[in-house]
Chains A and B, each alone.
Chain A
Amino acid sequence: MPVLVAEDLQKTYTSGEATVTALAGVSFAVEKGDFVALMGPSGCGKSTLLHLCGAMDRASGGRVVLNGKNLATMGDDELTHVRREQVGFVFQFFNLLPTLTIADNIALPCLLAGMKGDAADARAKALAERVGISHRLSHFPQQVSGGEMQRAAIARALVHQPALLVADEPTGNLDSDNGAKVLALLSALNKEMGVTVLLATHAADVAAAATRVLRMRDGKFEGDRQT
């Protein structure tokens, strides 16, 4: 059974009298353990699609089913619970909470889900070691490098063992060396932990790390290629 299924997914934004179609009916399915890249130029709708799959936003039409649950019919609180339990996020600007230490940032999803402090800390520590930032646990985000921040963000995205990891231009704000390391890490974690990854990028070399590449343009798929 696929982890993620999208059927005729549509999203339009209305601003005043203007209506912009961001997604014009896309359908696809992602199997457990897949590493899928959404590739396309700016404004093609890949980020929008990512948001809908990650339970961050609701579709204007069609449906998204994550782990057997239809996100389209959910209210805000239910979507929050889906994000908390089944989705992990990695963003271009790392988006760690600047007020928390790296350790607290990583443990946060577990804490929000109600896990005991000690257990959450233990998990965070283990993942930090895996992604290679255990020496930075007591630092604040602004005290570490961009590559380290992104590794911390990956640890945070995985600490609660989500069904789906959503990554939006995860290397967009990193130099090529650090970008390559982050991609390698994502790829390795995908294989080791069997976590399903959905990644959006405009760069072909980033998409190359994925096992499947979906090309997008003007809110639609242009191609679907297994690598």
Chain B
Amino acid sequence: MRLFIQFILRPLLGDKIRTATTILGVALGIAVVVAIQLTNASSVRGFETALETVAGKTGIEVVGTGGVDENVLPSLGWLREYGVVSPVIEGNAALVVGDLTSLSQRDLEAVRVLGVDILRDMPFRDYQLLDVGDTSSERADDVTAQKFLEILTNERSVVISEKLAKRRGLALGGEMQMMFGDRVATYIIRGLLKDEGPARVLDGNFILMDIAAAQFAFAKLGRIDRLDVLLPEGADFNQTLAAIAARMPSGLTAQRPSRRGEQVETMLAAFHTNLTALSWIALIVGLFLVYNTVTISVVARRQEIGTLRALGLTRRKVLWLFLGEAAALAVAGVVLGLGLARVLADAAVAMTSATVSTIYIAAASAPPDMNWGHVWLGAAIGLPLSLLAAAVPALEASRVEPTAAMRGHDTLDMRLRLRPAMFIAPLAVLAFAFGLAQLGPVNGRPLFGYLAAFAIVVGAGLLVPAIMFGLARASRGMLRRRLGVEGLLAHANLTSAIPRLSISVAALAVSLSMMVAIAIMIGSFRDTVVYWVGQTLQADLFIGPGIRPTVGQEQTLSAEVIAAVQRHPAVTATDSFRNVDLVYDNRLTVLGAGTFEVVLEYSALLFKSPSNARDAVRAAIGQDSVIVSEAFSNKFGKRDGDTLSLQTPKGMRDFKVAAVYYDYSNDRGVVIMDVGTFRKYFGDQAPSGLAAFLRKDADPEVVRSEMLASLDEGHRAFIFSNRTLRNEVLRIFDSTFAITYALELIAIVVAMLGVAGTLLTLVLERRRELSLLRLTGADRNQVRKMVIIEAALIGAVSQGIGLTMGFALSMVLIYVINVQSFGWTIQFHLPTAFLVQASIAVVIATAIAGIYPARRAAQLVLSHDE
């Protein structure tokens, strides 16, 4: 132990920059991994917590696609045999917190609205009234159901959480405005709820109202969202669920409430897996820093090790000493990393919540608190992997011969030769990767795709020494001619250090290749989306409700707004669409209704198949036919001509797939039926959006203003012109990938630290040669220039390899992983300008990373007999 403190800890504390860099590297790696776990958890947890908080003691819920028709309720009387039953309306609304005339998202705050029959619902959920409206001075903790009923009799009465009241300065008896879809309504606050039970949802953004008022507010007259069933204590859950399911009329499903959470989790799985895979890159690069630091410490102290060995220290002890160093660095890195994770998670949640709530669910919530599980995760990946990374240099240290080290001339034999195995093994791995990329998904996950990507990384990494030998052979003359004696020396130094450098170059190349691959993937994707948007966003104006449609598509447009749009003289045609959540094959997808005639007339969709898709869609009007998005087609293996069995309020029905169309707005998969067919099975439901086509000579901006002005006070809608919607689509697209770039940037920064570390190792290892060089007449500037050239060369070689590797990875991302996890066809497009800029930036950045080692090299004290 004393030896460890003197021999390992003291030097670590002494060499602050190197130690700090390594710890920071490990910390960043760990932090990114844990932060992404937290972030992923937050997007699902936000939904699940809300779900559980509101579900209360509900054991079983009865749901149906598009809700439950009130007319079937009498036939469900038998449900009471199994427990207490409560009908529920639950959805998101917007609390108006700003000025409605300017109407932007800033003026709205999402709130969760629960509409129940309070008498029936009291046993389900823990409602604790704080104050009662008519007796404001009296504090009543236990309010009888009677009193509750008095409060909620009025359709304009609401009970809100105390937290929300405080935050927004709302008072008991006061008024507040809410937006349901496009409708603005004023409510009177009749009671405040303690921070208990459902009032805790969305950090207190909770509104309770009577079920009839909620039906009215959400324009769901005659429908409810679900029936909650409270089982008596001691009831066998599974038996009861099976019994209820057996008696359920067609069109309705009995399930546990958490089922919805699981569906959301499945829906987000692909998004989360991709983030997790990315986060591991930062970790791997961080571990490479551990390898570097332990190598430096071994190299810098060969003589000391030799002395200790001469004095009788066993090889095993030497090995443990350096593994101990790695462990010390890892522990510090993990501790710091866990602290950083919280900060990164907050940032990551901010970056992803826009995506998650735009594309998937309204669940912008703070990441969950870190628990022992995360500490355990950080330690479980950080420690063993750090030890693994340190194993190579630690073994090297244990092999130091006492005599050789004492002489001080014992540098490693670096003149490794190019052997055929250096080509054959990596090429075999790359061929294997190619084979893996041809395989299909496993359970809807592109497992072989990830393996193929991993194999590409491993294969290309193994090929690095061979590539470097080749480059070294080819570049000597050029470097000497172009960069003079410093170029010659840098070339010589790097060539002789290929075995040691290969790991650094491979690690940097891997990070860079991911950057390249992601840039190509996103660039291609963006290009495809721009083309798709150009082809499909044909309407001039798009009219939507106040809150974005998400899971639980309860936001609808009212007849008044539709009328106001259609009334406008410039409008030549409108196409309304209605989206409802559709559970297909136990996964959440979207069922939409559109007017096929308008779609065909204005080419609002881009079809993938069949070749005569337009005729097929025309023939589908009035039939039990649907068109499906490409994502749906790929996910569920349905092609045109196949048949889909869909759960409708009228039971399971078969629909023929008429055509498959391209859709990059939704990876859940969309099924669209003609509005007539939809009405036949799902009843008349208010649309969730409307597209308006204008006369050629009309100015969309003017029409938009006129439409908004024509709305009465009770209605407010978001109207996007074609141009602003296109911009909005691209804004959402860019924000979706912001986190990808951020993760990448971290990996690259860590890799740069790695380059600095590697160069520092080489400088220390070459102390004697550097001294010699100085003796031979090299001045400090020449030494500095030489090391910086070395750094830039490392950057250039890494970027070169990274570009090639990244190109291969992007193929896997675009043609395998994306297709299998999101179901999207992306047209390959090379973002040349970005790649050129990035390559220059990488070379400059690595050169900058070389400054510190260069200074150290120039400062070496002259001595020829070291």
Alpha-carbon distance A42/B680, docked complex (angstroms): 107
Tell me if A3 is interfacial: C-beta within 8 Å of chain B.
no
Q: Do A99 and B777 form a contact, CB below 8 Å, given A56-B862, A108-B485, A140-B415?
A: no
Q: Chain B contacts of A56 at CB under 8 A?
A: 775, 862, 864
Q: Chain B contacts of A83 at CB under 8 A?
A: 775-777
The answer to whether B772 and A97 touch across the interface, beta carbons within 8 angstroms, is yes
User: Digit string of B766-778 for contact with A (CB within 8 Å is 1, else 0)?
Assistant: 0011001111111
Interface segment among A21-29, A111-119, A178-186: the answer is A111-119
Alpha-carbon distance A35/B485, docked complex (angstroms): 32
The answer to whether A111 and B485 touch across the interface, beta carbons within 8 angstroms, is yes
Q: Do A117 and B496 form a contact, CB below 8 Å, given A57-B862, A91-B864, A99-B769?
A: no
- Output the least CB separation between B236 and chain A (Å): 78
CB-nearest residue of chain B to A162: B777
- Output the least CB separation between A44 and chain B (Å): 15
Q: Do A80 and B772 form a contact, CB below 8 Å, given A95-B864, A99-B493, A112-B485?
A: no
The answer to whether B777 and A100 touch across the interface, beta carbons within 8 angstroms, is no
Contact of B492 (CB < 8 Å), options: A91, A99, A156? A99
Tell me if B481 is interfacial: C-beta within 8 Å of chain A.
yes
Alpha-carbon distance A98/B496, docked complex (angstroms): 8
Alpha-carbon distance A97/B411, docked complex (angstroms): 13
Q: Chain B contacts of A76 at CB under 8 A?
A: 780
User: Digit string of A133-146 for contact with B (CB within 8 Å is 1, else 0)?
Assistant: 00000001010000
Q: Chain A contacts of B409 at CB under 8 A?
A: 93
Alpha-carbon distance A112/B778, docked complex (angstroms): 6
Contact of A142 (CB < 8 Å), options: B415, B485, B773? B415
Tell me if A89 is interfacial: C-beta within 8 Å of chain B.
yes
Alpha-carbon distance A97/B864, docked complex (angstroms): 12
- Output the least CB separation between A147 and chain B (Å): 18
The answer to whether A112 and B782 touch across the interface, beta carbons within 8 angstroms, is yes
The answer to whether B775 and A77 touch across the interface, beta carbons within 8 angstroms, is no
A interface residues, tally (CB under 8 Å)? 31
CB-nearest residue of chain B to A111: B485
User: Digit string of A105-132 for contact with B (CB within 8 Å is 1, else 0)?
Assistant: 0001101110001000000000000000
Tell me if A34 is interfacial: C-beta within 8 Å of chain B.
no
Tell me if B750 is interfacial: C-beta within 8 Å of chain A.
no
Which residues 762-812 of B sit at the A interface, judged by CB distance below 8 A? 768-769, 772-780, 782
The answer to whether A117 and B862 touch across the interface, beta carbons within 8 angstroms, is no
Tell me if A148 is interfacial: C-beta within 8 Å of chain B.
no
The answer to whether B492 and A112 touch across the interface, beta carbons within 8 angstroms, is no
The answer to whether B777 and A80 touch across the interface, beta carbons within 8 angstroms, is yes
Q: Chain A contacts of B782 at CB under 8 A?
A: 112
Q: Chain B contacts of A80 at CB under 8 A?
A: 774, 777-780
The answer to whether B775 and A112 touch across the interface, beta carbons within 8 angstroms, is no
Q: Chain A contacts of B865 at CB under 8 A?
A: 47, 91-93, 168
- Output the least CB separation between A22 and chain B (Å): 14
Tell me if A85 is interfacial: C-beta within 8 Å of chain B.
yes
Alpha-carbon distance A98/B769, docked complex (angstroms): 8
Tell me if B352 is interfacial: C-beta within 8 Å of chain A.
no
Q: Chain B contacts of A113 at CB under 8 A?
A: 777
Alpha-carbon distance A104/B476, docked complex (angstroms): 12
The answer to whether B489 and A77 touch across the interface, beta carbons within 8 angstroms, is no
Alpha-carbon distance A215/B405, docked complex (angstroms): 33
Q: Chain A contacts of B864 at CB under 8 A?
A: 56, 89, 91, 95, 168
Q: Chain B contacts of A108 at CB under 8 A?
A: 485, 776
Tell me if B480 is interfacial: C-beta within 8 Å of chain A.
yes
Tell me if B579 is interfacial: C-beta within 8 Å of chain A.
no
The answer to whether B776 and A77 touch across the interface, beta carbons within 8 angstroms, is no
Tell me if A81 is interfacial: C-beta within 8 Å of chain B.
yes
- Output the least CB separation between B475 and chain A (Å): 15
Q: Show 8 residue pairs from A and B whose CB-CB distance is below 8 angstroms, ordered by the A residue.
A: A56-B864, A80-B780, A91-B864, A95-B768, A100-B492, A109-B776, A111-B484, A112-B778
